Amino acid sequence: LAEYEIGELMIEAGSTLNGALLQENLVDEIIWFQAAKILGDKGRSVFTLNELTSMADVPLWQLVSNQTIGESDICLTLKNSLVDAT
């Protein structure tokens, strides 16, 4: 993307692509909108990831901001802790 001078790319995808991008450490920031509804996980998960067997393998994300939208929905902004902040 740098070849085309693209510095930012927004992706709204399914759980398989979301998970693949995370596993390849290609995500710098997540902006996550969540309604106050619980649907269950069958076919509705946000990320499809390989099983982690150790907490040391769990990627760390920093909460940058949280915002309530309307009466009960939320928007979280998370930054990848592995990305150089400089």
Find out whether 31 and 67 touch, Cβ atoms under 8 Å: no
Across the strands, what pairs with 86? Answer: none
pLDDT above 60 for 28: yes
Contact (Cβ atoms closer than 8 angstroms) between residue 74 and residue 34: yes
% pLDDT > 70, the chain: 90
How many other C-beta atoms lie within 10 A of the C-beta of residue 27? 19
pLDDT at 52 over 80: no
Q: What was the pLDDT predicted at 86?
A: 44
Which residues, 6+ apart, have CB-to-CB distance to 25 below 8 Å? 59, 80, 82
Mean pLDDT to the nearest integer, 55-76: 91
**Whether the predicted pLDDT of 42 surpasses 70:** no
| Core vs surface per residue 51-67: b (16+ CB within 10 A) or e | eeeeeeeeeebeeeeee
List beta partners, residue 7: none
Mean pLDDT of 68-84: 89
